[in-house]
Amino acid sequence: MTVGALRETAKGERRVALTPETARKLVARGLAVIFEHDAGREAGFPDATYVAAGATPADAADVAARADLLLCVQLPPADRLTALRAGTAIVGQLRPNAAHDRLEALGERGVTAFSLELLPRTTRAQAMDVLSSQAAVAGYRAMLIAAEAAPMFFPMLTTAAGTIRPAKVLVIGAGVAGLQAIATARRLGAQIEGYDVRPETREQIESLGARFLDLGVSASGSGGYARELSAEEQAAQQAALGERLRVFDVVVTTAAVPGRPAPKILTAAMLEGMKPGALIVDLAAESGGNCVATVPGQRVNVGGVTVLGPLDLAAGAPLHASEMYARNLLNFAGLLVRDGGLSPDFADDLVAATCVNRVGEKQPQLI
Ligand code: NAD
């Protein structure tokens, strides 16, 4: 059996789904590993490092033609998958809601697709959880971008030129990305508060040495996720938050509800009430933004408040993002390979939950 990986071609994508480390582990399991020339170059893994791990370089068509299991970050364009054979499988973050027709077409050709955004957030799935590993990178980078763009130091400094007070930073949304953003701001010495609608995040925020900002609105949904707020809850949240926002120098927003556009939390009126020179970094820019003024990929200034909507945050730290992503895929591949061959066990809840194109079956959706 052969495991393959193509070079990622999406704009801004610098990660790779196979690293020399995971290639070596696959080879040790008796599998052949094939990769497209330069697949890992942007992430810091030259071809020679894969060859040293026992993998074979090839051109893209050759990789697709020979792979039984194709690993990717994003779903490759259709013209790079034409050589895939029936009976093979592809695994990645395939964005099934956006790529439904293409995934169905692959299914009809006998290529089974597994999209790891759909993994249940269970203990057994943790080692395969690409949403968590990549959100950690995104949260870290969002805070570094904030520190770089803020017109101030983050830590308190006592200098001959006087004492500099620490920056006051708020993180809205304390999931995996938000908690990593809080931890990063703490390391940089900021005075930090965190806010989330899930009450259990209070303890997680406080364990990082930050204060929990209590706005009196809680909205836990199913599967450990938040649910969308009702109109009344949203109004209550906005009224309480508007008052509290005035003190912050930097706000990093990471709020998300699975399968829904990002909740709009920061309104135009709130921006008006913020300090001049305040900075908002909206990590949710890709899914519509948590701030009304966010323009994906742009920096805008609204009445003296700067709003950044960075994209491709995880891809911006491609070495460690790829290392974690590739380990997630290696662990998931363990569920698909039996006796040296591709043999997905659809009775396994993780296999069944992530398969998005079984012909004749109802497909799972991002809820
Ligand atoms: P996410 O990216 O879906 O959302 C980010 C955060 O935004 C969440 O904490 C959510 O509560 C918050 N949010 C949503 N609407 C909001 C609003 N209106 N105002 C403020 N905050 C809002 O979340 P995630 O980081 O993917 O994690 C979701 C859950 O899954 C968490 O409970 C996390 O602990 C859990 N999780 C479990 C595992 C596991 O056990 N395998 C792994 C990873 C995450």
Per-residue pLDDT of the chain (367 residues; tens, 9 = 90+): 999 999 999 999 999 999 999 999 999 999 999 999 999 999 999 999 999 999 999 999 999 999 999 999 999 999 999 999 999 999 999 999 889 999 999 999 999 999 999 999 899 999 999 999 999 999 999 999 999 999 999 999 999 999 999 999 999 999 999 999 999 999 999 999 999 999 999 999 999 999 999 998 888 888 778 888 899 999 999 999 998 999 999 999 999 987 788 999 999 999 999 999 999 999 999 999 999 999 999 999 999 999 999 999 999 999 999 999 999 999 999 999 999 899 999 999 999 999 999 876 666 665 4
Catalytic residue among 121, 211, 227, 244: 121
Catalytic residue among 7, 80, 102, 129: 129
- Ligand 1 atom closest to Cα of residue 135: 25
Question: 207 CB under 6 A from ligand 1?
Answer: no
Q: Has the ipTM of the complex gone over 0.90?
A: yes
How large is the angle between the packed helices 20-28 and 318-336, nearest 10 degrees? Answer: 20
Question: 138 CB under 6 A from ligand 1?
Answer: no
- Ligand 1 atom closest to Cα of residue 255: 7
Question: 257 CB under 6 A from ligand 1?
Answer: yes
- Does the annotation mark 62 as catalytic? no
Output the DSSP codes for 286-344.
GGT-SBTT--TT-EEEETTEEEE----TGGGSHHHHHHHHHHHHHHHHHHHEETTEE--
Question: 196 CB under 6 A from ligand 1?
Answer: yes
User: What is the Å distance from ligand 1's center to 225 Cα?
Assistant: 5
Which of the listed residues 132, 172, 332 should we mutate to test ligand 1's pocket, taking the one with most ligand atoms within 8 A of CB?
132
- Does the annotation mark 343 as catalytic? no
Which of the listed residues 122, 134, 179, 197 should we mutate to test ligand 1's pocket, taking the one with most ligand atoms within 8 A of CB?
197
pTM recorded for the entire structure: 0.94
Question: 172 CB under 6 A from ligand 1?
Answer: yes
